[in-house]
Amino acid sequence: MKRVYLDNAATTPLDSDVIAEMTNVMQNFYGNPSAIHTLGREVRTLVEKARKTVATLLNASPAEIFFTSGGTEADNTAIRCGIAAYSIKHAITSKIEHHAVEHTLDMLLKEGVIDKLSFVNIDEKGNVDYNHLEELLQNNERSFVSLMHANNELGTLTDMERVGDLCEKYNAIYHADTVQTMGHYAHDVRKLKAHFLVCAAHKLHGPKGVGFLYVNNSIKIPPMIYGGAQERNMRGGTENVYGIVGLAKALEIAYAEMAEHQAHIQGLKDYFIAQLKEEIPGIEFNGETDADKSLYTVLNVSFPEMDMADMLLFNLDINGVCASGGSACSSGSNIGSHVLNGIKADPNRPAVRFSFSKFTTKEDVDYALGVIKTIMKQNALV
């Protein structure tokens, strides 16, 4: 049976050039990067070369890049340590952030680290109300703002420059969760006014278990993980050298091929949308779908009400189509997507997130459309 993978927002296949780069390191460079002997220094050179690659692509300084175990650790470090470093008592976020942000801020409120947690208004497409954000900033003491660049379930984009300008105006610290957009858009940190950006390599055809945190050199934060002097005393623990090298290679490829991949993927997404509208009566989409307002790799589809709606993902899977019901990080949850709840999506309509990559083909999309149409016929919806 043909197997079509349309869950790239959850994780992406490894690029073959990334595999080759990592394999070389695994086979030939095994020293501990903290060791002072030759084999250790060779590996330290690989780590610092990767750091410089990442920094150059982001127009950052290598001293602003800290390698982590992934996006969740990077988000936690930015939030916990950023708030602690400046004794901030007020945080601003939205109801549709990733749980790495939402749960961390909830815990800081429970622990009494912050006194107040405000939620900026969002519309039915997941767009931030920037006027309300300014009200929250001007009516409270110094704030910590955590808003994602692109929602991982909806694809709706937030204007990072506009948020950055507001945070600068009111002396707020700005953390942008860029897990879904790193490698898909060119982030120039000298133009953005974000204090923190984050990356998870497996979202851009790199390895799982590695990411990085960008920390603007205008601020200083303490470590979240203690135990060693690694990452310039900012993150204890022996570096994941293979992963770090793979991350840098994946990001390098992503930047080099970004325009080509964006055009390819956006074309597939637009085609998918058009075909769904034509073939499935009553189809709707959660989040923005316009190219300038939506992450081109993500499409959240709201299907008509049907019997056994909770079996839709299963039926897609047994027919060879891999997709998600909202965020993959919530798989197995029986309380529904907090993102779809946050935009007040119709709970009676099954929602599926389809997400594409540079490896997705038109044949893949056509196959998925055929499966969807068959399922809809079985439910007498077409």
Q: Give the other-Cβ count within 10 Å of 23's Cβ.
A: 12
Three-state SS at 352: strand
DSSP of 258-277: HHHHHHHHHHHHHHHHHHHH
- Positions annotated as catalytic residues are 329
Could you list the beta-strand ranges (E) of the chain.
4-5, 65-68, 90-93, 116-119, 143-146, 173-176, 196-200, 211-215, 284-286, 298-302, 321-322, 351-355
Closest by CA position to 75, among listed 155, 160, 194, 184: 194
Q: Give the other-Cβ count within 10 Å of 148's Cβ.
A: 28
Burial 5-21 (b: 16+ CB within 10 A, else e): bbbbbbbbebbeebeeb
Structure tokens, 65: 């890049």
